Structures are given as structure tokens and as C-alpha cells.
Amino acid sequence: MRSAFDFTPFRRSAVGFDRLFDMLESSAASGAGENYPPFDLIRTSEHEYRIELAVAGFRRDEIEITSHQNVLIIRGRKGEESSADYIHRGIATRSFERRFALADHVNVTGAALADGMLALTLTREIPEAMKPRRIEIGGAASAPQHDRIEAKAEPATEERSPESV
């Protein structure tokens, strides 16, 4: 299914952004009408986030959380139906699958289930090699030698006559 926006002109001129365009197209195609279970996305600090999903009626063993290649997948599958004779069933207990695209270096660091809310903690951990670092400028003592210009007087050459030898 194609999205309402065509990314083809951008794909031709942007090198290395294929994954971004694929994510935008797939989220536009699969995101239409997908709203179960409801969730909140909260920024708790500069490098920490929390996702809270309303999973009322699901037990710990009925929820599966998987993180693989920058995609967080949360699945809920209900066990066997009870033999209760329901007059009205208003609590949604259908199976679900929620996908979240994670940025590079974002890892799931914790998960907790309490009072029908599943809370996932995510942390952005930037490797040392990718962090900005300050480069110190050396002082005058360490200035390169080619910057100093010293004039040396060359001795004048005398012309000798062959008789003086």
C-alpha cells in the first residue's frame, strides 16, 4: 500500500536515507487505524524515555517484549477463554502487536507491569567514539619550527685569481 506522500524524488537525491524513507512509508501504511492498546510516550530526561501501554487484563506471561535492529515489538496474547457466561464484555482482551522504531543507540533498559500499565524505560547510550571531544590548542613553546623565520647571512665569496693559489 502506498502512502499519500511520494518519497521518490527524495530517494534520488538523498544518499543513505533509505531506512528513514522506508520507516515513513511503513508507518503511514500500517499506522492507519492502529490504536490498540493506547500508549503514552514520555521524555524523562535528555537521554531517557518511557513508554506506557494500557494492557488491562493481561498477565506478565501473556506479554512478550522484543527489541531487534532498532525496532521494539510488544505483543500480547491472551490465554484460553474462561467458561464464564458473559452478559456484556467491554474489556478488550484481543491479541495485539505494537511496534516502535528506535533511533540508533537507544536501548530498552527496563520493563514493569503494575495496575494494568506496562512501563518500558529506554535510554540513549552514545558510544565514546561518537561523542564530541574538545581539542586543545598548544602554546607558543610547541609552535612548529617552520613558522619561525631566521635570516642567516651568507658569507661573501671572494674571487681568487689563479696566481694566488
- The predicted-structure confidence for 17-63, as pLDDT tens digits, reads as follows 777 777 777 666 555 456 888 999 999 999 999 999 999 889 999 99
> Residues 95, 108: one domain?
yes
> Residues 42, 62: one domain?
yes
Tell me if 143 is assigned to some domain: no
Tell me if 112 is assigned to some domain: yes
Domain limits for position 77: 36-81+88-129
Kindly report, residue by residue over 69-124, the tens digit of the pLDDT.
889 999 999 877 777 888 888 877 789 999 998 888 899 999 999 999 999 999 99
CB environment 77-96: b (16+ within 10 A), e (fewer):
eeeeeeeeeeeeeeeeeeeb
> Residues 16, 62: one domain?
no
Question: Alpha-carbon dihedral of residues 99, 103, 108, 114, nearest 10 degrees?
Answer: -50
Tell me if 156 is assigned to some domain: no
> Residues 23, 58: one domain?
no
